Amino acid sequence: MEKYGPTRRGATKRPADGGARADAIVVEDLGRTFVDRRGRGAGEVTALSGISLRVAPGEVHGLLGPNGAGKTTLCKILTTTLEPTTGSARVLGLDVTRQSRAVRRSIGLVFGGDRGLYGRLSARENLWFWGAMYGLRRSELRARAELLLERVGLADRADARVDTFSRGMKQRLHLARGLVGNPRVVILDEPTMGMDPVAALDFRALVAELREEGRTVLLTTHDMAEAAAVCDRVSLIDRGRLLMTEDTDAVGRLLSRYERVVAHGVSAGLADRVGALAGVVAVRHEADRLEAETELPSATASVLAVLAGEGVHRVSTARPDLAEVYLHLVGRRGMAVT
Ligand SMILES: Nc1ncnc2c1ncn2[C@@H]1O[C@H](COP(=O)(O)OP(=O)(O)OP(=O)(O)O)[C@@H](O)[C@H]1O
């Protein structure tokens, strides 16, 4: 398969000049609003607002956010199926609005669910169809389809109709479809949706291969663990706004640092004592239920010790979810979440 200059996970992909070398994806002050016709009267929904983002060539970049954060909207703009309301976006130097045809030829798109596959065609025929759309010659197209069917583990089902496939198999075919045009930039919108855990692991290996081939990958997910496993950098997006872009390792460290302790049968006085412990960053107390956020493993241990010392034994610990990590991050950086 064509190589674009290998890169390694963990290697710094951003050039020392801060990005003067052409970035693969450049998003500047991007915004998108929709007219919301649901409910009474038409209101405006801001799906994206003031998004600026750069992805270096060969980087695997994760776009993380909860449902409705605006991830799909950004993917649609980058893949030219939706125009921005404000700002601009370029893929490989091509403007997504003014040079949309050229952008479409340079990218591969993979999205979750059933969209974009022809159920009455076989897996192989689907790939031939999409390869033809990319303008591949017949012999090239056939060879590429075989290679990709093998690569995503569908070679033995190549002639079966796609509407007989499981969700996970369809998702793997989507991946093959996204790669059929040998794209330098691959955009994956919730690529493991519907995959079983084994297939999701295979998917991670595939993304690693794409990185080795020097392709640029932008992938959306709301699974922090998935992002941590495959991405070089991640951007956290919430309610249409970009909260931060960081090296994945930094976010992973942050995630493993925070913990939540939930206990029942806790008095207000005891809740105050827990709140005063070093490393306890937040405490909520309602009725006799305590929720304490800790930011160091030793802090969790001290909370548990204080609770046990007072005879409180209905206690559990958990890692915070993504939304809570956002709040920690945002609080620390003094940024506003609106
Ligand atoms: N065609 C549309 N009309 C009106 N509102 C829309 C439209 N498309 C998206 N939105 C709204 O824009 C916001 C962002 O949606 P988007 O689908 O981009 O989020 P997402 O991060 O991809 O979420 P999910 O993980 O659920 O797919 C949401 O509030 C959504 O309701």
Tell me how far apart the alpha carbons of residues 243 and 188 are, in angstroms, rounded to a whole number.
21
The pLDDT value recorded for residue 121 is 94
Mutating to test ligand 1, I would choose from 72, 79, 85 the residue with most ligand atoms within 8 A of its C-beta, which is 72
Tell me how far apart the alpha carbons of residues 190 and 202 are, in angstroms, rounded to a whole number.
15
Tell me how far apart the alpha carbons of residues 150 and 190 are, in angstroms, rounded to a whole number.
22
Lowest mean pLDDT among 33-42, 73-82, 324-333: 324-333
Residues making up the chain, counted from first to last: 338
Average pLDDT over residues 256-283: 91
pLDDT of residue 13 exceeding 70 = no
CA distances from 116 to 141, 232, 285 (A): 18, 28, 49
Lowest mean pLDDT among 55-69, 224-238, 250-264: 250-264
The pLDDT value recorded for residue 9 is 45
Q: Whose CA is nearest to atom 10 of ligand 1?
A: 47
Structure-token match 């600026």, residue found: 52
The pLDDT value recorded for residue 42 is 65
Per-residue tokens: 72 = 């799909």
Q: Whose CA is nearest to atom 28 of ligand 1?
A: 68
Average pLDDT over residues 109-118: 77
Q: Whose CA is nearest to atom 2 of ligand 1?
A: 34
47 Cβ inside 6 Å of ligand 1: yes
The pLDDT value recorded for residue 147 is 93
Q: How far is the CA of 73 from the centre of ligand 1 (A)?
A: 6
Q: How far is the CA of 238 from the centre of ligand 1 (A)?
A: 11
Query: What is the pLDDT of the chain when averaged over all its residues?
Result: 83
Q: Whose CA is nearest to atom 13 of ligand 1?
A: 47
Please check whether residue 104 is in contact with residue 140, taking contact to mean a CB–CB distance below 8 angstroms: no
pLDDT tens figures, 31-66: 999 987 766 656 889 999 999 999 999 999 999 887
What is the DSSP secondary structure assignment for residue 259, as one 8-state letter? Answer: E
Cβ-proximal residues to 3 (8 Å cutoff; 6+ apart), any chain: 213, 214
Q: How many CB atoms lie within 10 A of CB 301?
A: 12
Lowest mean pLDDT among 15-19, 71-75, 283-287, 291-295: 15-19
Mutating to test ligand 1, I would choose from 45, 77, 219 the residue with most ligand atoms within 8 A of its C-beta, which is 45
Domain spans of the chain, in order of start: 25-246, 259-318
Tell me how far apart the alpha carbons of residues 157 and 120 are, in angstroms, rounded to a whole number.
14
Please check whether residue 110 is in contact with residue 189, taking contact to mean a CB–CB distance below 8 angstroms: yes
pLDDT tens figures, 136-168: 888 888 999 999 999 888 999 999 999 999 888
Q: How many CB atoms lie within 10 A of CB 95?
A: 15
Phi-psi region of 303 (alpha: psi -120 to 50; beta: other; left: phi over 0): alpha
Tell me how far apart the alpha carbons of residues 50 and 151 are, in angstroms, rounded to a whole number.
38
The pLDDT value recorded for residue 5 is 33
pLDDT of residue 305 exceeding 80 = yes
Q: Whose CA is nearest to atom 24 of ligand 1?
A: 67
Tell me how far apart the alpha carbons of residues 189 and 270 are, in angstroms, rounded to a whole number.
46
65 Cβ inside 6 Å of ligand 1: yes
Per-residue tokens: 192 = 């493991």
pLDDT tens figures, 235-254: 988 889 998 898 887 766 66
68 Cβ inside 6 Å of ligand 1: yes
49 Cβ inside 6 Å of ligand 1: no
The pLDDT value recorded for residue 133 is 82
Tell me how far apart the alpha carbons of residues 58 and 212 are, in angstroms, rounded to a whole number.
8
pLDDT of residue 325 exceeding 50 = yes
Q: Whose CA is nearest to atom 3 of ligand 1?
A: 34
Question: Looking at the domain covering 259-318, what would its CATH class be?
Answer: alpha beta
The pLDDT value recorded for residue 338 is 31
pLDDT of residue 72 exceeding 60 = yes
The pLDDT value recorded for residue 64 is 86
To the nearest 10°, the Cα dihedral for 180, 182, 185, 188? Answer: 20
58 Cβ inside 6 Å of ligand 1: no
Q: How far is the CA of 70 from the centre of ligand 1 (A)?
A: 6
Cβ-proximal residues to 152 (8 Å cutoff; 6+ apart), any chain: 172, 173, 175, 176, 206
Tell me how far apart the alpha carbons of residues 82 and 205 are, in angstroms, rounded to a whole number.
30
Q: How far is the CA of 82 from the centre of ligand 1 (A)?
A: 12
Tell me how far apart the alpha carbons of residues 31 and 281 are, in angstroms, rounded to a whole number.
34
The C-alpha angle with vertex 243 and arms to 239 and 259, in degrees rounded to 5, equals 100
Cβ-proximal residues to 136 (8 Å cutoff; 6+ apart), any chain: 144, 180, 181
Greatest distance between any 2 Cα atoms in the chain:
76
Average pLDDT over residues 170-175: 87
- Look up the CATH superfamily of 25-246: P-loop containing nucleotide triphosphate hydrolases (3.40.50.300)
Atom nearest to 37 CA in ligand 1:
4
Tell me how far apart the alpha carbons of residues 249 and 255 are, in angstroms, rounded to a whole number.
10
69 Cβ inside 6 Å of ligand 1: yes
pLDDT band (50, 70, 90) for residue 204: confident
Q: Whose CA is nearest to atom 18 of ligand 1?
A: 70
Please check whether residue 64 is in contact with residue 322, taking contact to mean a CB–CB distance below 8 angstroms: yes
